[in-house]
């Protein structure tokens, strides 16, 4: 049996092996019972998880990865990521949602060429794998032409990940593009609808009482494609949109409601009753104004939750940050609600274990892939992540494995990633992926957009005006604080002039 766990061992040994076994890891199976195996093994044969247990017998020639001191978990799943925007990583760090809408929808979104969608998708897809996200929904709403769509899918097909292509176009009405001959031809040409590349239709419902989006929902139904929609976004999508979807019979178990942050109890109840899923982007919701991160409200109504990172134009594409933000914002809300009632929270409702579930199994359920991925169980596809970093003082001791994943680990601790049985990251390094190609493509996009906007507009986009604010008048002064009641004033020194 070969042992390529040494950093000096050639990767070819691992790549050519008929099977791979992870040995002696702390295994978070994320099965229905949330079974945790200490010093457990996971055997992968071909595309499939063959066995999970202790001291597994393996086929001759199996490559062994030493997972001791690390945590094994299913590949994480992101149910909403605007991958095409990744070339502008961090550009809108100080935007509000309004500024994002103005920049993309009204001013500069159409300046993205097909090659720019390709560049963003390529970099985002690679970054997802590097951070342990093995399945990503590309919420691709910048597809102003079919050439843009072809370029976006070209990028996804170059990266050995699992993707769902959420086709959208913010520059055209969904009832127009979803029924066009070009779009239907594209679906037939490029969308095989496998568990490696799926299809969603990505569009929003404004709440217009005429419900013009009905045509787009009918197109999705005709294609057998689920709908993913930004719902409950302050100032953009509201309860009327949910009501219209429900009254016309377009809320299904396959529908994914992104954010769902500013909805009424009635809307949440409609989502719950029809079996829909939510995609929570807590960093996004907390920062740019869709509404308070929604997991607290979703839990109250029994709506299944998955996680997403939204867009790198603002935040990182880090699933660990997404888990942390979700847990922190949910607990903050729980405390605030209790304090408003004069109560104290003595036992937290949302646990780290639950959030790891959202990041894995929750995403699989939302995408209809629960029978395929989302847990480490025999018969499922081998999407496996090993979190291990022997050089990090934050990676030991591992006492509470779920808490460690959420609050201690980071994407730099992702040691090994398998997608469909293929090793795409090993020893902390991407395997068989040309990062320089992505860098060159993205540099071309940045250069193009900077030139197209002009230097003044380019800088202004990154530095929106800060509104004036006033610090509250303070009735206390430092000298009054120092002169407590009953104490003499300090003696003055120096001479008078």
Distance CA 380, CA 50 (A): 8
Among 186, 126, 131, smallest CA distance to 156 is for 126
pLDDT tens figures, 431-446: 999 999 999 999 999 9
Helix, strand, coil % in the chain, rounded to nearest 5: 40, 20, 40
Going by the DSSP 8-state scheme, the letter that residue 110 receives in this structure is G
- Kindly report the backbone phi and psi dihedral angles of residue 56, in degrees, each rounded to the nearest multiple of 5, phi listed first: -65, 140
pTM: 0.93
H-assigned helices in 293-434: 295-300, 319-340, 352-357, 363-366, 401-403
User: Helices (H) and strands (E) in the chain — how many of each?
Assistant: 18, 17
Among 376, 466, 284, 285, smallest CA distance to 75 is for 376
Beta bridge partners of 167: 140, 201
Structure tokens at 24: 């002696």
- Kindly report the backbone phi and psi dihedral angles of residue 142, in degrees, each rounded to the nearest multiple of 5, phi listed first: -105, 25
Q: In tens digits, what is the pLDDT along the chain, a chain of 497 residues?
A: 334 444 434 455 677 789 999 999 999 999 999 999 999 999 999 999 999 999 999 999 999 999 999 999 999 999 999 999 999 999 999 999 999 999 999 999 999 999 999 999 999 999 999 999 999 999 999 999 999 999 999 999 999 999 999 999 999 999 999 999 999 999 999 999 999 999 999 999 999 999 999 999 999 999 999 999 999 999 999 999 999 999 999 999 999 999 999 999 999 999 999 999 999 999 999 999 999 999 999 999 999 999 999 999 999 999 999 999 999 999 999 999 999 999 999 999 999 999 999 999 999 999 999 999 999 999 999 999 999 999 999 999 999 999 999 999 999 999 999 999 999 999 999 999 999 999 999 999 999 999 999 999 999 999 999 999 999 998 887 766 566 566 655 555 544 44
Distance CA 388, CA 68 (A): 8
Handedness of CA 81, 83, 88, 89 (dihedral sign): positive
pLDDT at position 178, please?
A: 98
Residue 301 buriedness (CB in 10 A; 0-12 / 13-18 / 19+):
middle
pLDDT at position 497, please?
A: 40
pLDDT at position 14, please?
A: 72
- CA-to-CA dists, residue 278 to 299, 327, 363, angstroms: 10, 16, 9
The answer to whether 385 touches 72, Cβ cutoff 8 Å, is yes
Distance CA 384, CA 85 (A): 27
């Amino acid at each position: 049996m070969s042992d390529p766990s040494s950093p000096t061992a050639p990767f070819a040994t691992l790549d050519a092996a008929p099977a791979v076994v992870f040995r002696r890891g702390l295994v978070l199976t994320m099965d229905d019972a949330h079974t945790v195996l200490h010093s457990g093994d996971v055997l992968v044969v071909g595309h499939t998880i063959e066995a999970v247990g202790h001291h597994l017998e393996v086929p001759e020639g199996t490559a062994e990865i030493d997972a001791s001191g690390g945590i094994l978990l299913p590949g994480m799943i992101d149910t909403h990521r605007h991958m095409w925007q990744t070339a502008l990583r961090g550009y809108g760090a100080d935007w509000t949602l309004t500024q994002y809408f103005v920049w993309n929808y009204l001013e500069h979104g159409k300046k993205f060429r097909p090659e720019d969608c390709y560049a963003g998708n390529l970099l985002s897809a690679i970054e997802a794998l590097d951070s342990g996200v093995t399945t990503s929904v590309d919420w691709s709403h910048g597809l102003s032409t079919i050439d843009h769509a072809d370029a976006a899918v070209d990028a996804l097909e170059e990266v050995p990940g699992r993707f769902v292509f959420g086709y959208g176009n913010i520059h055209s009405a969904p009832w127009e593009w979803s029924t066009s001959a070009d779009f239907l031809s594209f679906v037939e040409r490029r969308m095989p609808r496998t568990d490696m590349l799926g299809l969603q239709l990505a569009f929003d419902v404004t709440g217009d009482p005429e419900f013009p989006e009905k045509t787009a929902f009918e197109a999705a139904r005709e294609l057998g494609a689920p709908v993913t929609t930004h719902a409950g976004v302050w100032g953009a999508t509201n309860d009327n949109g949910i009501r219209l979807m429900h009254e016309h019979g377009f809320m299904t178990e396959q529908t994914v409601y992104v954010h769902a942050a500013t909805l009424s109890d009635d809307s949440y109840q409609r989502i719950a009753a029809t079996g829909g899923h939510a995609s929570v982007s807590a960093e996004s919701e907390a920062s740019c104004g869709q509404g308070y991160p929604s997991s607290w409200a979703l839990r109250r109504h029994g709506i299944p939750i998955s996680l997403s990172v939204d867009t790198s134009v603002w935040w990182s594409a880090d699933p660990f940050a997404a888990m942390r933000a979700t847990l922190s914002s949910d607990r903050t809300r729980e405390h605030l609600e209790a304090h408003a009632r004069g109560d104290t929270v003595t036992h937290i409702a949302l646990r780290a274990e639950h959030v790891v579930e959202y990041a894995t199994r929750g995403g699989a359920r939302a995408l209809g892939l629960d029978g395929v991925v989302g847990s480490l169980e025999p018969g499922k596809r081998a999407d496996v992540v090993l979190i291990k970093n022997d050089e990090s003082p934050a990676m030991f001791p591992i006492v509470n494995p779920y808490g460690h994943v959420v609050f201690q680990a980071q994407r730099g601790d992702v040691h090994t990633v398998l997608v469909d049985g293929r090793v795409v990251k090993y020893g902390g390094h991407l395997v068989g992926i040309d990062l320089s190609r992505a860098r060159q493509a993205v540099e071309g996009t940045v250069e193009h957009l900077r030139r197209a906007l002009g230097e003044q507009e380019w800088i202004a986009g990154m530095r929106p005006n800060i509104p004036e604010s006033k610090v509250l008048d303070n009735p206390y002064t430092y000298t009054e604080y120092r002169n407590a009641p009953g104490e003499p004033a300090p003696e003055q020194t120096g001479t008078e002039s």
